[in-house]
Amino acid sequence: MATTADFRNGLCIMHNGDLFTISEFQHVKPGKGPAFVRTKLKNVKTGRILTNTFTSGFKIDVQRVERRAYQYLYNEGDIYHFMNSEDYEQTFIDKSMVPAPDLLKEGQEVTIAFHGETDSAILCEMPTYVVLEVTYTEPGDRGNTATNTFKDATVETNTTVKVPLFINEGDKIKVDTRTGSYSERVKS
């Protein structure tokens, strides 16, 4: 058992029967009354943010989480298949656990977090940016970089992304996996 003095960002704890990670915390020592810790907890399964206040010295149940590198292989409907990069063991997780499944391409590296006690997958983390090739878009306007106008482009994962007018078919673009938006063109 640990106490509130052991809080740090990213720590995984059991709270009210669910797994949470600590997103933010702040120790507060008011002039009157006992000290306390204000926290923002993120539910590992649902992703919901919960604000909670713990009194100083409150006992918490720290959970062990192992993060392993995996490579995306393919999907069968809502089941996604990944292979461990070290021992070639395969694991299967549900589509709802993948943050941006429409931007996942074959061979993509991800990190999967496993609960230490049950050895079950609890979280899948994708890289912040992925590089994808544009497979279809309307012809681009050469030199049109000053305007803030966008057009639709289909990338190699059959996802539509809004891109600037100067992007053409065959260009590689960097896409933000958190928002699904265009970031920049990648020079070959």
pLDDT in tens, 136-151: 998 866 666 666 788 8
Same domain, 21 and 45: yes
Residue 9 sits at φ, ψ, to 5 deg, of: -65, 135
Mean pLDDT of 58-69: 89
pTM for this predicted structure:
0.74
* Residue 188 clears pLDDT 80, i.e. is over it: no
**Under 8 Å between Cβ of 3 and 11:** no
CATH of the domain at 112: 2.40.50.140
Domain boundary among 110, 125, 140: 125
Same domain, 114 and 166: no
CA nearest 179: which of 100, 86, 83, 77? 100
CATH of the domain at 54: 2.30.30.30
In this prediction, residue 37 carries a pLDDT of: 92
Strand partners, 42: 21, 49
Domain boundary among 125, 158, 175: 125
Same domain, 19 and 58: yes
Domain boundary among 95, 125, 155: 125
Residue 102 sits at φ, ψ, to 5 deg, of: -75, -15
d(CA 44, CA 53): 19
Q: How far is CA 57 from CA 10, 18, 20, 53, in A?
A: 19, 21, 19, 12
For 27, the domain range is: 2-62
* Residue 185 clears pLDDT 80, i.e. is over it: yes
Q: How far apart are the first and last CA of the chain?
A: 52
Tens of pLDDT, residues 106-131: 999 999 988 888 888 888 888 999 99
Same domain, 7 and 57: yes
Same domain, 49 and 93: no
Same domain, 165 and 182: yes
Number of domains into which the chain is organized: 3
Same domain, 134 and 168: yes
Burial code (b: 16+ CB inside 10 Å, e: under 16) for 11-41 equals bbbebeeebbbbeebeeeeeeeeeebbebbb
Same domain, 167 and 178: yes
